[in-house]
Amino acid sequence: MTSFARAAAAENAGNLEEARTRYLDILRTEPQNPAALHRLGMVELRLGRPREAVILFQKSLAIAKDLEVYLDFGAAMAAMARWDAATTVYAAALRVAADSVDAQYGLALALHRQGRPQDAEPHYRKVLATHSHLGEVHNNLGVALQDLGRVAEAAAAHREAARLDPADAVAWSRLGVALHRLGRNAEAEAAFRKATGFAPLDAENWHNLTALLDAAGRPAEALAAGRRAVALDPSGARNWLALGNAAHAAERREEAWRAASAAIRLAPSDPAARNNLANALRELGRPQDAVAEYRAALDLQPDFAVAETNLALLLSSQRDAEGALAVLRALLARQPENGEAWRRLGGVLAEAFRPDAAVAVLRNAVAIAPGEPDGHTDLAMAAAMAGWSRVSADACRRVLRLVPDHAAALGQLVHQQRLLCDWRDLDGLEALLLHRVRAGAEGVSPFDVLSCASTLADQKSAASRWAAAKARGVTPVVRTAAAARDGRLRIGYLSADFREHAMGHLMVDALETHDRSRFAVTAYSTGIDDVSALRQRFQRGIERFVDLRRHTDADAARAIAADGIDILVDLTGFTTFSRTSILAARPAPVQVNWLGYPGTLGADYVDYIVADPTVIAPGEEGFFAERVVRLPDCYQPNDRRRAIAEATPTRAECGLPAEGFVFCCFNSAHKLTPVQFDGWSRILAAVPGSVLWLYAGAPQVAANLCREGEARGLDPGRLVFAKPVPHAEHLARHRLADLFLDTLPYNAHTTASDALWAGLPVLTLQGTTFAGRVAAGLLRAAGLPELIADGQEAYEAAAMGLARSPDRLRELRQRLARNRPICPLFDTPRFTRNLEAAYRAMWEIHRTGGAPRPITISADDGPDTATQEEGKVP
């Protein structure tokens, strides 16, 4: 046996020190022996002396350009992650042996590891040209193609690898990744499940499956896969991150927090982990801790747009609009084409009661991402808040083109077209909306359903789903007994409308008139301070006035609970700027729906609805989630101090003709319907020289109504449009009208009270829902029940008859003038005593441990008596 053979035998036997000694002995006598230099280099490498190995490889190659030396040298550089050196070595090998498959593959891997997939690709393909049976090479080619964004080609490469070896879990896993990126989720899931089947102990496969299931909206399955991944590899931060995402989607808040915390412990410098922990803390109701984690994420990665957006949204939800705006504006200064940031900025501005600015910002969002429905949805909402109905309607149409089954956009489109009196295709849209409501569609605002030809069942259905959504994720507050009680019942009124607003005008006198010896009254304002005289009157006239506008819903609920409120009365319902989630937190033991919303709130967290015998008829209680409380006269209060300007404008100043009968309807335009307008056109045709005086808040309303009039053969000159004026002046101009014509299915409410207070008779139709019966209740309480028509034909006949019977109309005016000081409609002290009797009855039921039940306040027995299902309660 030669000396070289003995050295090689020792090397092969693993006797490395002996082999090293023998190779050195050879080199002492043959210093230029390339084979000995090569093998000694391999021994030094195995002994952990890579520097010495590199020198020996280089010496060997300087003597003889041997392919095997190049391949071992390249492999040694790759093992040390010296990818640049490996690239140089493998390239040199190919100059020696251009057909070397090993050199081609080694060079491909080295280039790929350097982040040069475009350079690696041709070398992978050269290997496969002669060795297409190598599944590993197909897999690596697939990874390179994914890196290059050529995902469909990557999927084909991985699929070929899986075909060559159907048990190759790596191939199935990588195929799943590619298919997921292509949006072929069902195929991707099948591939991932193949991978987990062939390699059930590989955490990577379970991690991939978790991410897929989470993205597919299957949180329970994602949670199970994520738990398996962390069980197999608890040291992998990305597994905990995936589990946290799945737990977050499954609303497993504590588990999401624990997973995110584990990811932070393993990867404290990972900004994504910090962001996820912040998300979990936010969901756990720990907003200050969440803010700190978002800021920590941004300290680690200042250009982390997702964390910036999340931070801004949290600050906005905490009523820190300025902080949120600052974060988003800084983001947009860096990324002016970030459509999501523009959209979020618009949302913050809208939440801050700055809808005009929100509209301008959201126009940028939809210009950048015209195919994203959320931007158009937000634009529609902000434009509606700003009173720009045409812009809102256009945005809704865009949403529906992108997402045809978007029920919320459909409801808003119907409402905005009503506000514009744009009745083209409205019947079909309304029918579709009601069909969606009856099919259980989520997201339809109940208010949008009120003006449609909806039933009480429709209205309850929409309200119940809306109320449930508002309660989702809300944590009930813990109520504690107040430290000191003075024997009075504590009533809290929650409203966004303690200001110059229709509801404000209705309720101010009643709230001022409460018996302070028996009731402690607090107004909780969630709306803007418009610095109006009416706002100041509320602040002066109510015992306690608390501004909650900058409180979060949770903080507002805690504040109300801390005040020891016994009965919380919501005066806003589902109208603009409502804060229903405050009610969902149950800050008071008894909660009441009254005045602001003419229908059920559909919520199990609201106990009673205040009504009267007209607006909710006996036998209809099942259509209301609340227990019905019937006041004896009318559920609506009025203000005895409502000022009417002394000076009456001239007909010319109001655009009215010098002569002729003046019909008027000052209802909001959304209450007008094509059927109603048909009837009004017939009335005008039957009363020569008459005009119809309407309120048009937007120029488009007048234009659309004139067009509709012409279509019905009506001279547009017989339609007169009233401009906005201060409230006292608005009441004064009622003196120029002869008869107020009401609407259906949504009656005049405050506008009817205004007309009657100003001495103008109101002719109404009684509908089948709360919103369509209010005017009838007002007329009965005013002593004018004969002005309630029974059907459309009777309504039109009554209008024509009154226009032709000045004596009859004069008698109605005179009776209204006599009744005004004494009738129940305008007797606020009487109304308030009845309301207080209702509150006492509610509280007595609660105090004695009973469940809420219907209550009727009897006028015959006096306001201190309430009739219930189980008898009398003082």
Q: Which residues of 392-417 are buried (b: 16+ CB within 10 A; e: fewer)?
A: bbbbbbbbbebbeebbbbbbbbbbbb
Could you read off the pLDDT of 691-746 as tens digits, one per residue? 999 998 888 999 999 999 999 999 999 999 999 999 999 999 999 999 999 999 99
The candidate with the shortest Cα–Cα distance to 327, out of 340, 339, 315, 343, is 315
The torsion of the CA quartet 743, 748, 754, 760, rounded to 10 degrees, works out to 30
What's the pLDDT at 7? 87
Average pLDDT, the chain: 94
Per mean pLDDT, which range of 273-282, 334-343, 859-868 is the poorest?
Answer: 859-868
The reported pLDDT for the residue numbered 481 is 65
The predicted structure's pLDDT at residue 737? 98
Would you state the pLDDT for residue 861? Answer: 44
The model's pLDDT over 133-192, given as tens digits with 9 standing for 90+, comes to 999 999 999 999 999 999 999 999 999 999 999 999 999 999 999 999 999 999 999 999
The pLDDT of residue 492 is above 80: yes
Per-residue pLDDT of 203-216, as tens digits, reads: 999 999 999 999 99
Confidence of residue 874 (pLDDT cuts 50, 70, 90): very low
Average pLDDT over residues 482-486: 67
Greater model confidence, 759 or 318: 759
According to the model, what pLDDT value does residue 79 have? 85
Per-residue confidence band for 479, with pLDDT thresholds at 50, 70 and 90: confident
Token code pair at residue 663: 């019909």
Distance CA 700, CA 422 (A): 9
**pLDDT of 870 over the 70 cut:** no
Q: Are 510 and 831 in contact (CB under 8 A)?
A: yes
Instruction: Map out the domains of the chain with their CATH numbers.
Output: 1-64 (1.25.40.10), 283-464 (1.25.40.10), 475-632+849-874 (3.40.50.11380), 662-826 (3.40.50.2000)
Taking the C-alpha atoms of residue 757 and residue 775, their distance in angstroms, rounded to an integer, is 13
Give me the pLDDT at residue 436, please: 97
Average pLDDT over residues 453-460: 97
Is the pLDDT at 484 greater than 80, yes or no? no
Distance between CA atoms of residues 117 and 111, nearest Å: 7
The answer to whether residue 869 scores a pLDDT higher than 70 is no
The yes-or-no verdict on residue 237 having pLDDT over 50 is yes
Copy the structure tokens of residue 698: 């937007």
Statement: residue 871 has pLDDT above 70: no
Chain segment 751-766, per-residue pLDDT in tens: 999 999 999 999 999 9
CB atoms within 10 A of CB 835: 25
Q: Residue 626's closest CA among 471, 854, 835?
A: 854
Write the pLDDT tens digit of every residue in 59-100: 999 999 999 998 988 888 888 889 999 999 999 999 999 999
Torsional class of 48: left (φ above 0), alpha (ψ -120 to 50), beta (otherwise): left
Residue 850 has pLDDT above 50, yes or no: yes
pLDDT tens track for 582-602: 999 999 999 999 999 999 999
